Amino acid sequence: MLDPNLPELKVMDYTACLQKVQAMDSRGDFSYKGIYKVLLVIFEWTDKFLQNRVLPNVEQIERDSSIDRDRTENYVIDLSYKQNPAIIKKLNVLEFHPNEPGDPENPKTYIKHNTVFARPTTSDGGTAFRYALGLNELSTTAIKGWYNEKRKYVGKEKMRKVIKAAVDANRLFDTYASTELGNLFQCPYDKTKVQKDATIVIHLKPILKQLVDDKILFFFRNDSASRPANKSVFLYNRPSEIADRYDAYVDYAKNTIYPALKNLGVMGEVTEDSWNSPKNILTEIKGYMNESYGDQKTLMEECLVLNEIIEKDKEREEKQKRKQQIEDLMAFLAEAGRIVEVNLLRVSGEPLTDEFRATLLSQPEVLYTEYADKRVYNEFILHKSCIPQAIESAKRTFQIKHSDLEIRVLNQMNVTIHLNDESPKRLLEEIEAQSLFQFLPFFTRLWRMIMGNMTVHKFEIPPIKARLQQQLTRDLASQKVKKISQEKERLVKARLKEREEAEKDAERKSKQGHSHSTPTNQSRDDDEDSEPTKQGSPEEEKKWKESIETIIRILDEAWEFGVYPDREYVLSKLNGKFTEENLIFFLKKFGGKEIYSFPIRNQREKFPWPILVSTGYLKRHGKKLFDKVSAESERQRNDKFPNQEKFDIAESQLEFLNRILPKLKP
C-alpha cells in the first residue's frame, strides 16, 4: 500500500509555488517566459482529476498552453526536479490497449506507459498522494486486463531454456514477473538513480503488493540471495507455471550443477529415483556452493523455497481433498437413514484406509460400534441425525425379515441418549422387547404362544440383554482373534510371494550372465542386505538411517490420524522391506533412543503387540496427549455406561506418559 507520508510525494506549498513561478516568468532574460501558464494548465487538469481520472502529459500541456514542445519539456522538468521541494509532481500511469496487435508474451505491446504531471491543490496538504494512489489503481487495472485477456504462458520447454540462459548469464532476476512489470515503468524523464528509485517507491512497489493481494502475483523472500534484485521474488500466480519453474530449477541442478560437483569429487552417485523427491539432494548440493557460484547458488536457494511451498500446497490440497471426502461421506450417512457397514463405504471407489477410517470415526456427528456372531465380524456407523429413521428401518426389517441385527446394533450404540423425542425411544423399546421374545426359555415361549401373549415383560428384559451382551463380548473376542490370524496369514503369503519373485528374478539374471551367484546364494544375499544389525559401509549406514526415519514418519502419521501403530502396522506400511524378525531386531538396535513402546492392558485380542511411538512425537505433542487421555480416563470413570476398551487405552497411555515424559528433554 502506498504510504501517504512518503518524502517522494511532497510538493511546495500552493501559494509559495505560485509566487515563485510568477517570479520566474517575470525574469528579464525571458528564459522562463510562459512557465506560469504551464503551471496553471497542470493545475486545471489536476483540479478535475477526481471527475475524469486523467492528468496531462507533455503533449496535452503543450496543446493547452500553446508553448512549443522543447520549452514545455524543459519547464516541466525544471518544476519537477530542480526546485526543492518540487513545484509539480511527475507521475506514471499504465494504459491497456487490448485492440492493438501485439505479442502475448510481451506486455509492452499491449500496455503503454504514460508520464503525467500533477499540481496538488490546497486541500491536498502539500502531497501528491491522492493522485499517485489513483494512477496506481488505473495501472493495476491495466495489468490485470493484460494478464487475464492477453498474456500467454511460454510453456514448460521454453521456461527451461529461459531459466538456463538467465542463470548462465547471471541474470535470474530477469525471469521474475516483477522485472517484466518493472520494465513498463521506464520513464524517459528519470535520468538519475534517485529519480528511478522514486518511481519504484511511488508506483512499482505498491502495485506489486496490490497484485499479490489480488492473487495475480505470487511472492516469496530469498533472504540468502547475495544481490538485492534476487531477494524479493514475484512470479505470476498460476500453479502450473510455478510448478514448471520448479521443475526447470531441478532440471538445471540435475543436469548442470550436480555433474560439475560430481566431477570435482565432492558428490557421489545419485540414483534417478532420488530426484523424484529431491529436497535432500538439493540441500546437499547447496551446502557445497558459495557466493562465487552466483545465480547458480541463487537458483538452489529458490528451488528449496519452492520445494517447501509446493510440498505444503500438496499437503494442503490433500487435507482439503480428505476433508471434502469426509464431508461427502458424512452427507451420505446423513441421507442413508439407517445404520451402515463401515466395510461397505468407499472413497473414489476404494475401501477406507486406516487413517481415513480413524478420521471418519472421530467425527462427533457419528455413532460407531462393533458387532459379531459366531460367523462374522462387522463394524457399523450411524449419523446421529438419522437415529429416528434408523429405528423405523430396524422395525421394518424385523417385521419383514424377522432379523433383529439392526435392533441389536442400535442398542449397542446406545442411541436413546441422543434422542430428545420420546416417541422414537418408545418405538425402539417396543421392537426390542418383541425381538427378545425368542430368547425366553422354551416352555415360557411355548406357553405364551399358545395363550396368544407373545410379549416379554419388563423385568425379563435386563437379564436377557445381559446374557446377549456376554455372548457378544465372547463372539467379538473370537472374531478379532480370527481376523488378526487371517491378516498375519495374508502378510506372510505376500512376503513369501515377494521372496519367490525376488529369487526368480535373481535366477533369471544369473542365467543371463548378469549375476554369478546361485539362487540359494542370492537368497542368502537378500537376507544379509535386509539384516540391519551388521556393521556396514557408510552407504549402508545411510540406508539404515533412512529406514529409521521412514519408520518414525509412519508412526507419527498414524498417531496424527488417531491410529495406535504396532509392529504389524509398520510392516504393512513398509511393503515387505523387512521381515518381522528383522524389523524387531532393527528396532532394538537403531530405535532405542528414537522409538518407545507400551502395551494396552486387558485388550490382548485387539492390541496383541505393544504400541509404538516416536520420541520426537512425544516431545512435540506429549503434553497435549497427556491432557487428552487424562480427560478420557476421567470421563470413562464418571460415565454411567463406561467403554471398557477406551478406559483401558487411556489408562495404559497415562501410565506410559507418566513414566516417560519426565525423562524427555524438550
| pLDDT surpassing 80 at residue 128 | yes
pLDDT given for residue 661 in this prediction: 86
Residue 465: predicted pLDDT: 78
At residue 475, the pLDDT reads 72
Sign, CA torsion 153/156/157/163: positive
Distance CA 33, CA 26 (A): 7
Give the pLDDT score at 526: 38
pLDDT band per the 50, 70, 90 thresholds, residue 296: very high
Q: Does residue 58 carry a pLDDT above 60?
A: yes
Least confident of 118-122, 172-176, 496-500, 661-665: 496-500
The CATH fold assigned to 540-663 is Arc Repressor Mutant, subunit A (1.10.10)
pLDDT (average), residues 433-439: 74
Look over the chain and give the mean of its residue pLDDT values, rounded to a whole number.
Answer: 85
Q: Looking at residue 532, what is its pLDDT?
A: 39
Q: What is the pLDDT of residue 537?
A: 55
- The mean pLDDT value for 32-58 works out to 94
CB atoms within 10 A of CB 19: 12
Span 27-43, pLDDT tens digits: 877 889 999 999 999 99
Torsional class of 602: left (φ above 0), alpha (ψ -120 to 50), beta (otherwise): left
C-alpha–C-alpha distance, residues 373 and 479, integer Å:
8
Q: How far apart are CA 45 and CA 120, in angstroms?
A: 10
- Which segments within 18-98 are labelled E, that is strand? 89-96
User: Which has the minimum average pLDDT: 115-124, 346-355, 614-623?
Assistant: 346-355
pLDDT band at 666 (very low <50, low <70, confident <90, very high): low
Position 516 confidence tier, pLDDT thresholds 50, 70, 90 = very low
Q: State the pLDDT confidence band at 523, using cuts at 50, 70 and 90.
A: very low
Question: What's the pLDDT band for 506 if we cut at 50, 70, 90?
Answer: low
Q: How many residues does the structure list for the chain?
A: 666
Chain-centre distance for alpha carbon 359: 17
Q: Supply the pLDDT for residue 398.
A: 82
Q: How far is the C-alpha of 93 from the C-alpha of 58, rounded, in Å?
A: 14
Tell whether the model's pLDDT for residue 533 goes beyond 70: no
Q: How confident is the model at residue 528 (pLDDT cuts 50, 70, 90)?
A: very low
pLDDT of 619 strictly over 90: no
Sign of CA dihedral 513, 514, 520, 521: positive
Q: Report domain extents, the chain.
A: 7-150, 156-317, 337-458, 540-663
Q: Which of 114-118, 304-308, 386-390, 395-399 has the weakest average pLDDT?
A: 395-399
| pLDDT, position 468 | 77
366 pLDDT more than 60? yes
**pLDDT above 50 for 500:** yes
Determine the pLDDT at residue 54: 95
- Mean pLDDT (whole number) for 450-465: 74
